[in-house]
Structure 1
Amino acid sequence: MAEIDQVEVLSLKKACIQKLQQAILSGTFIIGERLPSERDLARQLGVSRPVLHEAVVALNEQGLVQIEARRGVFVRDYRKESSIVLINTLLEYEQGDFASTLFTSLIEGRLLIERETARLAAQRCGKEAVDALQVLLARGRSATVECARALTDYDFCFHLEIALASGNQMYPMILNSLRGVHSNLVGRFYQDIYGTNVVEQVLDNHKQLVQAISKGDAPGASEIMAQLLRDGEENINRIFFNT
């Protein structure tokens, strides 16, 4: 049975952040423009100046604005200056083709990274790492009788464990920075397919990937990972973008 998330009561700060994000991404505030003063923005949004200031600081950390002492707050070109933390915000900003294009970019990035993690895992990992992956496979089977959220958590941990098995310290950090995006997109995917044979197909592919890694088959592991991501892209495009 499909499940829905609990209702979230947004804090004033979070609501303020979302409102400003929408204003910037929609072009209400254009790149290079100086935002109104904190006093004016706080009045327009109906929040206190401290709340508004915290929201602006958060936008600065995301790469959407630049705070310049004694000059004000300016809208950045996020395509050039933002970091990976902005991806989930961009995906949640519903603008049709824009979101679809961003998702394609995300898959292309994951293909570059995760094909390599699978290849390196097959070359480098030892028995302990393979055993950890086997334990995760069993967890995935158990998750099929729990809920879509359990499958989503399992799926992320599976990909993360392969990144850890690669021996490259950067790859797990990159994947962890995408966990919110994973919960957003892959969570919706598992909600849609929960209880169908597609779940079994995904788990079977995971099993094949672990077998390739355990045998030291680097090219095979890389290709299985690529196919997993392409299959996921096809399903999520169908769910989110009707393509």
Structure 2
Amino acid sequence: MKLKPIVAPSTKELFVNEIERLIISKELFLNEKLPTERELEREMKVSKTTINSGLNELAKSGFLRIAPRQGVFVDDYIKNGNLDTLNSIIRCNGGKLDKKTFDSLTAFRIGIEKQCAELAAANRSEQDIVAMKLLQKKMECTTDPSDMAELRFEFTKTLYFATGNHIYPLLLNSLKSIALTFNQIVFRHFGCAVANEYLDELIQAITDRDSKTSIELSTRIISNRIEQLKQWYFVD
């Protein structure tokens, strides 16, 4: 097992995390007005600078709405949030998503995987194939779940890059934290060998520019991964 350095969170991170927790747990309600910065400073024992910076960060994530001369209010983070908001929800839920959010995210991912498999088969270069095979070889020699999660993410990013549409890898990068968390869960509970399932066939289909088979294999891979995650997420 690889040990990592322990990094203590900053005061701002602790403040932001606590406000997020209060909102996600509905201890603070939609449109509820927060105490003033002076009151927060007194009650939470943090500096006004920390509070001001934290409130602005929470506003960017869709948790709060700052109304000049009126105050700070709890906002609709589902409607106005972003990917940082999703990461916060996962963190506040102990690394888990509720079923509705899980199903929404995985349905989105299945759709993207199909598109990328089709486009990669149509537009891939020889360099893309070489990069995929190199990552596959590294995965075959890896037994650490964290290392495997990183390699599997890089393989997916390489496939997305092969589409010729550079928005796809950028989108995947924005989901990296969530993707790594999901990958680590699967490889820790089901073994690292599952990371290599159907990869030979998928790389061959992309090499052959066989879009139909690429879509079928990519869908099978992501669907299997989702079913494995569900076994861990939604146990009674």
For normalisation by structure 1, the TM-score amounts to 0.89
State the shift of 1:240 in Å: 2.6
How many corresponding residue pairs? 236
CA–CA distance in 2 between the matches of 1:54 and 1:184? Answer: 28
- Using CA pairs under 8 Å that are at least 6 residues apart, name the structure with larger relative contact order, 1 or 2: 1
SS at match of 2:73: strand
Partner residue, 1:49: 48
Q: Structure 2: 5+ residue runs without aligned partners? A: none
Q: Which residue is 1:61 aligned to?
A: 60
For normalisation by structure 2, the TM-score amounts to 0.92
Partners of 1:135 and 1:95 in 2: CA distance? 35
Three-state SS of the structure 2 residue aligned to 1:32 is: coil
1:203-232 C-alpha deviation (Å, 9 max, x unpaired): 032222111111111111112111111111
Q: Does 1:104 align with 2:97?
A: no
Deviations 1:44-89 (A, max 9, x none): 2221111111211111111111222222212111111111221121
Q: What are the Cα deviations for residues 159-203 of structure 1, in whole angstroms up to 9, with x where unaligned?
A: 111110011121111100000111222222222233xxxx33430
Q: 1:6 to 1:142 in 2, by over 3 A?
A: same
Deviation (angstroms), 1:95: 8.5
Provide closer, same or farther for how the CA distance between residues 208 and 44 of structure 1 changes in structure 2, counting only shifts above 3 A. farther
AA of the residue aligned to 1:161: T
Alpha-carbon RMSD across the aligned residues, in angstroms, is 2.1
Q: Distance in 2 between matches of 1:37 and 1:30?
A: 16
Seq. identity, %: 25
Contact persistence 1:93–1:99 (CA under 8 A): no
Contact 1:100/1:237 (<8 A) preserved? no
For residue 216 of structure 1, the aligned residue among 209, 214, 217 is 209
* Equivalent position SS for 1:143: coil
Alpha-carbon distance in 1 for matches of 2:224, 2:38 = 49
Structure 1: where are the runs of 5+ without partners?
none
Instruction: Indicate conservation of the 8 Å contact 1:125/1:166, yes or no.
Output: yes
Greater Cα offset, 90-99 or 147-156: 90-99
